[in-house]
Amino acid sequence: MITINQIKTEIRFETAGQRLELKDMLDSREVLQKKSAKILGINMTDVSGIVILKHSIDARKKPQIFQVYTLGITLQTKDLEETVVRRCRNKQVAMDTQKQYQFPVPGKQERTQRPVVIGMGPAGLFCGYLLARHGCRPIILERGFDVDTRTKDVEAYWGGGSLNPESNVQFGEGGAGTFSDGKLNTLVRDKDGRNREVLRILVEFGAPECILYESKPHIGTDVLKRVVVNMRHAIIENGGEVRFGAKVTGLVVEGGTLGGVRINDSEVLPARQAALAVGHSARDTFTYLDEIGIPMEAKAFAVGLRVEHPQRLINECMYGTEHGNMLPAAPYKLTAQTSTGRGVYSFCMCPGGYVVNASSEPGRIAVNGMSYSDRGSSHANSAVIVQVTPEDYGADGPLAGIVFQRRLEEEAFSIGNGRVPVQYYGDYKRSRRSEDPGASDSLRPNMKGAYVFSDLRGLLPHACEQAFIEGMEQFDRVIRGFAGDQALLSGIESRTSSPVRICRDDALQCPSVRGLYPCGEGAGYAGGITSAAMDGIRVAEQIAGQFL
Ligand SMILES: Cc1cc2nc3c(=O)[nH]c(=O)nc-3n(C[C@H](O)[C@H](O)[C@H](O)COP(=O)(O)OP(=O)(O)OC[C@H]3O[C@@H](n4cnc5c(N)ncnc54)[C@H](O)[C@@H]3O)c2cc1C
C-alpha cells in the first residue's frame, strides 16, 4: 500500500448554523481518489483501494478551515505501487511501513493452569481478552459489578443517594474509563503496533471505525459501556471466566512465588500467574501490598480544579467566530510554566461534556470529567492541574501520595458539606465565596452529582493555588475568556494518575513475588485508557509466554 500524507481539502459550510458531524465533513471517495491520482501521476481507474489512515482539522487559516488526510492507496499490484512511488519523488508519498501487531505466543494451546487477572479496567480487560483469545482461559476478578448494576449505583449516588465504595465511577466493569470521555489518544509510542491493536479491538467490539484514523479519537461513555460488555462476552466464549464482586484481599506466596489469591477475605484461588491491574484508586489494596513488603515507591502526580466554560467560547476561539459553532465540539490542550518553575496544564479535557463526582470513598470528594459519544453538551471542561512531588506531600513512604490525596478530598467534602464545591473563578481570584446565581443567565455547572456554590480558596496547598492562578491567567492569553470571572471551578481533581509505582522487572514481574505482574495505571505504568490497555497486552504476552 502507498501512503500519501498532508492531503488538504477545505471544509464547505453549506447550511448556515447547522453543526457538522465528522461523517458530514469527510470528502467523498471520488474526491480523495482524484486528489491521490493527481499526486501519484496516475489515472483514477488505477486506484483499486483507498483508506483514510489519519484525519485532522486544521484551523490555522481561519475563517478557512481545512481537513488534513493521510490516505492508504492500493494499486493493481505491489510492483506497480513501488514503481509509482519511485517515479513520484514527492515527500508526501511513501510505501506503507506500518507494522501489524502480532501476539508473540503462537496459536491456541490447551493450558492446564489458569492465569488470574485482578481488575477489569482497560489494563485487565485487554490482558484478559488476549489471554482468552490465545487459549489461556483466564479468571478475571473484579471487586465492582457489571456495567448495568454499576450504572444504577453510580446514578443513584449522583442523584443524592449513598456512595457504594465497591461500585462507583472508579470501581466496576471497565474500570475508571467506563464513565469517561473515552478519549483514546496516548503519547506512548509502540513500535510493535499495540496502540493500533487496541483501537482495532475496540472497533471489533463496537466502537466507530473513525477512531482508527481520527487524530484525537474518542468514543464517549455510552459507546464504551457497550464495547466493554461485548469484550466480556468474547472472553467467556473463549473459555475465560469473569467474576464480579470478587475483591482480591490477599496473596498466597510460597518461597517467593505466587501460589494463589485470597478473595473477599475468604476463598483462596490457586494461581501461579496474576496480573495486578487494580487502577489508581485501589488504596486498600496498595496499603495491603505495602504491609506485606511488596516493593513500591511514591510517584509524582498532579492535583488541581476542574474548569468549565461554554463550549461556544472554545469553538469560537479554536475555529473562529464565522464557522466556530458549525463544527464538532473543539478540544484544547494548554500548558504553562509558572514564575516558580512549576508546570500547570489542562488535563482530560472533555468537549461537550460533564463534570462528574468521581468519588470512591465515603467522606471524600473527587471530581473528573466525561462526555457522551456526541459530545453534545453546551459546556467544555478540563482539569487545570499542578504537578506535585513527594516534597509537596510533606510525608514520606510509598503511600505518602495517597495520604495527601485523602486529605484534599476530605477538605473538599467538608467545604461542600458532602456535595461537590463549586466557585466562579472571579470570586476565587478575589477570595470571595460564590453564591448561587439563581435564575440569572450565569453559567451553571454541568455536573453529574450534587454541587453547592462555595469558597475553594485554601483547598489546594498554597504553592499549588498560586501556580493554578498563574496558569489560568496564562491560558487566558491563548483562549480569551478562559480566566473570565464566569469560568466555573469545581474540586478536587486529585486522581490524575497513580500516586504509587509497584516495582517490576524486565519480565514485568514483581521482583519479590514471581508470577505477580504489576500492570496498568494503578501500578504506575500507564496514564489513560489506551496506554493502560497496551500495558495489559504486554503483560498478557509475558504470562502466555510462561506457559510454553
Ligand atoms: C471520570 C474519568 C474520566 C476519564 N476519562 C478518560 C479519558 O477520556 N481518556 C483516557 O485515556 N483516560 C481517562 N480516564 C483515565 C482512565 O480511565 C484510566 O487511566 C484507565 O481506566 C486506567 O486503566 P487501568 O485498567 O489501569 O485501571 P482502572 O480503570 O482504574 O481499573 C482498575 C479496576 O480494578 C478493580 N480493582 C481494584 N482493586 C481491586 C481488587 N483488590 N480486587 C479486584 N478488583 C480490583 C477496580 O474496581 C477497577 O475496575 C478517566 C478516568 C475517570 C475516573
Checking if the pLDDT of 396 tops 90, the result is no
Ligand 1 centroid–CA 314 distance in Å is 28
Atom of ligand 1 nearest to the CA of 368: 1
Ligand 1 centroid–CA 369 distance in Å is 13
pTM (two decimals): 0.96
Residue 439 pLDDT: 82
The residues, any chain, with a CB within 8 Å of residue 519's CB and separated by 6 or more, are 123, 124, 127, 275, 276, 277, 508, 525, 535, 536, 539
Protein residues with CB under 6 Å of any ligand 1 atom: 118-124, 141-144, 169-172, 175-177, 179-183, 247-248, 277-280, 282, 285, 348, 356, 358, 368-370, 520-522, 526-530, 532
Q: What is the mean pLDDT of residues 133-150?
A: 97
Exposed, middle or buried, 300 (CB in 10 Å: 0-12/13-18/19+)? middle
Ligand 1 centroid–CA 521 distance in Å is 7
Q: Are 175 and 125 in contact (CB under 8 A)?
A: yes
Above pLDDT 70, what percent of the chain? 98
Q: What's the pLDDT tens digit per position in 397-442? A: 999 999 999 999 999 999 999 999 999 999 999 999 999 998 888 9
State how far the alpha carbon of 409 is from the alpha carbons of 89, 327, 416, 420, in Å.
Answer: 59, 37, 11, 10
State how far the alpha carbon of 528 is from the alpha carbons of 33, 123, 182, 354, in Å.
Answer: 36, 10, 9, 18
Alpha-carbon 484 to chain mean position? 28
Nearest Cα neighbor of 332 from 286, 408, 277, 383 is 383
Checking if the pLDDT of 3 tops 60, the result is yes
Q: What is the mean pLDDT of residues 162-175?
A: 98
**Residue 11: band (very low, low, confident or very high) from pLDDT cuts 50, 70, 90:** very high
Ligand 1 centroid–CA 221 distance in Å is 13
Q: Are 246 and 143 in contact (CB under 8 A)?
A: yes
Atom of ligand 1 nearest to the CA of 170: 53
Strand partners, 350: 381
d(CA 435, CA 454) in angstroms, rounded, equals 7
State how far the alpha carbon of 147 is from the alpha carbons of 159, 175, 213, 251, 520, in Å.
Answer: 18, 10, 28, 27, 20
At residue 30, the 3 state secondary structure works out as helix
Nearest-CA residue for ligand 1 atom 46 is 171
Residue 190 pLDDT: 87
Task: Tell me the angle at which helices 283-291 and 400-415 cross, rounded to the nearest 10 degrees.
Answer: 150
Q: Are 186 and 532 in contact (CB under 8 A)?
A: no
Residue 13 pLDDT: 84
Compute how many other C-beta atoms are within 10 angstroms of the C-beta atom of residue 239: 17
315: cell is: 469553538
Atom of ligand 1 nearest to the CA of 171: 47
State how far the alpha carbon of 48 is from the alpha carbons of 33, 45, 127, in Å.
Answer: 10, 7, 37
Atom of ligand 1 nearest to the CA of 371: 8
Residue 305 pLDDT: 98
Checking if the pLDDT of 460 tops 80, the result is yes
Residue 112 pLDDT: 65
Dihedral-angle region of residue 197 (phi above 0 means left; psi in -120 to 50 means alpha; beta otherwise): alpha
Residue 111 pLDDT: 58
Atom of ligand 1 nearest to the CA of 522: 26
State how far the alpha carbon of 288 is from the alpha carbons of 137, 248, 295, 399, 486, in Å.
Answer: 28, 10, 12, 11, 44
Q: What's the pLDDT tens digit per position in 187-225? A: 888 889 999 999 999 999 999 999 999 999 999 999 999
- Count of alpha carbons within 13 Å of 511, Cβ hemisphere only? 8
307: cell is: 474548569
Ligand 1 centroid–CA 494 distance in Å is 14
Ligand 1 centroid–CA 455 distance in Å is 30
Residue 89 pLDDT: 81
Exposed, middle or buried, 37 (CB in 10 Å: 0-12/13-18/19+)? middle
Nearest-CA residue for ligand 1 atom 9 is 183
**Residue 519: band (very low, low, confident or very high) from pLDDT cuts 50, 70, 90:** very high
190: cell is: 509502540
The better pLDDT of the pair 12, 344 is held by 344
Residue among 186, 529, 539 whose CB has most ligand 1 atoms within 8 A, to mutate = 529
Q: What's the pLDDT tens digit per position in 351-393? A: 999 999 999 999 999 999 999 999 999 999 999 999 998 778 8
Residue 467 pLDDT: 97
Checking if the pLDDT of 94 tops 70, the result is yes
Query: If residue 150 lies in a helix (H) or strand (E), which one and from where to where?
Result: helix 147-158
Atom of ligand 1 nearest to the CA of 169: 53
Checking if the pLDDT of 108 tops 70, the result is no
Residue 546 pLDDT: 74
State how far the alpha carbon of 161 is from the alpha carbons of 168, 338, 419, in Å.
Answer: 12, 41, 11
Ligand 1 centroid–CA 442 distance in Å is 34
Q: Please, what is the Cα angle at 231 between 141 and 252, to 5 degrees?
A: 15
Beta-strand pair 488-493/420-424 = antiparallel
Nearest-CA residue for ligand 1 atom 47 is 171
Q: What is the mean pLDDT of residues 533-539?
A: 98
Nearest-CA residue for ligand 1 atom 4 is 180
Ligand 1 centroid–CA 367 distance in Å is 14
**Residue 37: band (very low, low, confident or very high) from pLDDT cuts 50, 70, 90:** very high
d(CA 124, CA 142) in angstroms, rounded, equals 9
Strand partners, 301: 388
SS in 3 state form for 474-485?
A: HHHHHCCCCCCC
The alpha-helical segments, DSSP class H, found in 41-90 are: 78-88
Nearest-CA residue for ligand 1 atom 2 is 180
297: cell is: 515507591
Residue 409 pLDDT: 98
Ligand 1 centroid–CA 190 distance in Å is 21
State the DSSP string of 233-283: HHHHHTT-EEEES--EEEEEEETTEEEEEEETTTEEEE-S-EEE---TT-H
d(CA 471, CA 456) in angstroms, rounded, equals 17
Ligand 1 centroid–CA 170 distance in Å is 6
Checking if the pLDDT of 100 tops 80, the result is yes
Q: What is the mean pLDDT of residues 495-515?
A: 97
506: cell is: 524486565
d(CA 199, CA 213) in angstroms, rounded, equals 10
Strand partners, 367: 357
Nearest Cα neighbor of 178 from 147, 201, 204, 202 is 147
Nearest-CA residue for ligand 1 atom 52 is 176
Which residue type is seen at 112?
Answer: T
Q: Please, what is the Cα angle at 303 between 299 and 305, to 5 degrees?
A: 165
Checking if the pLDDT of 90 tops 90, the result is no
Atom of ligand 1 nearest to the CA of 177: 17
Q: What is the mean pLDDT of residues 516-539?
A: 98
Q: What's the pLDDT tens digit per position in 310-340? A: 999 999 999 999 888 899 999 999 999 999 9
Ligand 1 centroid–CA 178 distance in Å is 8
Q: Tell me phi and psi for residue 284, to 5 degrees.
A: -65, -35
Q: What is the mean pLDDT of residues 228-248?
A: 98
Residue 109 pLDDT: 52
Residue 22 pLDDT: 82
Residue among 348, 382, 494 whose CB has most ligand 1 atoms within 8 A, to mutate = 348
Checking if the pLDDT of 171 tops 80, the result is yes
The sign of the dihedral angle between the CA atoms of 437, 438, 442, 443 is positive
450: cell is: 450534587
